[in-house]
Amino acid sequence: MFSAQPVNQHNRQVEWLFRLLFGIMLTLLIIPVLLIIATLFHRGGSTLSLEFLFTFPSDGMTAGGVFPALLGTIWLVVVSLLASVPLGVAAAIYLSEYARQEHWLTRIINLATINLAGVPSIVHALFGLGAFVLFFRIGTSILAASLTLAVMTLPVVIVASWESLQAVPRSFREACWNMGATRWQTIRQVVLPNALTGILTGIILQVSRAAGETAPIMFTGAVFFLPFLPGSPFDQTMALALHLYTISTQVPDVPESLPFAVALLLVCIVLLMNATAIWFRMYLRGKKKW
């Protein structure tokens, strides 16, 4: 009665075939990543040390550490977050909770936001140079570079936040409104607490992108070399991504392991951020509330 019919056998073969196919595709995707990380470890791993992290470059950037660049990257990421997160989350709240969803203006703004996320970073760089450095006369500084990064990452923050706000069921809002809650009370009490997880994940992923970008900060605030640490957002700074570019292409006689060590550090930072985001999401998914 339960013996395999020909059709079952055929289905099983197809099932097995597709399993294999998707498995191969996954492997093909993972191999380059593993190869990159392995190469970086192999050629730069020995140079990477605590001393490398916390000393200045020396001998015309052919020796020493990356401390000012590391610190500069942290400066850039933090200041750009301070600009993009409040603005982006507020914009997402407006688009999701206040704007009339079917209105043509709302749709155009949504579409524009998504498109803005696809603009090449060098275009953002030129915009930042024109707007922040020249027009607002901030000058090349951490602030100008961070604002440029913020403009670049803003669409991602908005879209991620908008999506997590929309993921909160509408019935929760309806229940609150019917109880006599204002829109803001509803957002504050019910919508935001439940959308926060997705918003935070979006922000962390955005941080990793900001940390790795070179073009937007090149014209707006990051420099080849500084003999001192930046003391305020109005100073210029070094940054890891630009430092890597510089020592790989502009500086003669750099020992081969140095750029690899910087690249390894950069990749580690980005991976660490992404891993945090993924762990965070898994942690919160475990506590799902409905």
Which region, judged by CB under 8 A, interacts with another protein, from 55-63, 73-81, 124-132, 168-176? 168-176
Site membership for another protein, residue 49 (CB under 8 A)? no
Q: How many residues bind another protein (CB under 8 A)?
A: 20
Smallest distance, another protein to C-beta of residue 155, A: 26
Smallest distance, another protein to C-beta of residue 97, A: 11
Smallest distance, another protein to C-beta of residue 99, A: 10
Site membership for another protein, residue 194 (CB under 8 A)? yes
Smallest distance, another protein to C-beta of residue 102, A: 7
Query: What is the DSSP secondary structure assignment for residue 129, as one 8-state letter?
Result: I
Site membership for another protein, residue 100 (CB under 8 A)? yes
List the beta bridge partners of residue 63.
58
Give the H or E element holding residue 153: helix 142-166
Place of tokens 């020249």: 134
* β-pair type (63-64, 57-58): antiparallel
From candidates 33, 185, 250, 255, binder to another protein by CB under 8 A: 185
Whether 230 contacts 140, CB under 8 Å: no
Query: What is the DSSP secondary structure assignment for residue 228, as one 8-state letter?
Result: S
Whether 62 contacts 251, CB under 8 Å: yes
Smallest distance, another protein to C-beta of residue 98, A: 11
CA distances 131 to 134, 138, 144, 148, 288, Å, are: 6, 9, 9, 9, 43
From candidates 41, 127, 172, 225, binder to another protein by CB under 8 A: 172
From candidates 171, 252, 253, 285, binder to another protein by CB under 8 A: 171
Query: What is the DSSP secondary structure assignment for residue 286, as one 8-state letter?
Result: T
Letters for 127-166 (x = contact with another protein by CB under 8 A, - = none) are ----------------------------------------
Site membership for another protein, residue 58 (CB under 8 A)? no
Whether 200 contacts 218, CB under 8 Å: no
Smallest distance, another protein to C-beta of residue 203, A: 21
Measured between alpha carbons, how far is 149 from 83 in angstroms, rounded to an integer?
A: 9
Site membership for another protein, residue 104 (CB under 8 A)? no
From candidates 49, 115, 189, 250, binder to another protein by CB under 8 A: 189
Smallest distance, another protein to C-beta of residue 168, A: 8
CA atoms within 13 A on the CB side of 76: 39
Whether 212 contacts 270, CB under 8 Å: yes
Give the tokens for residue 261.
């060590």
Applying CB under 8 A, which residues contact another protein? 100, 102, 171-172, 174-182, 185, 189-190, 193-194, 289-290
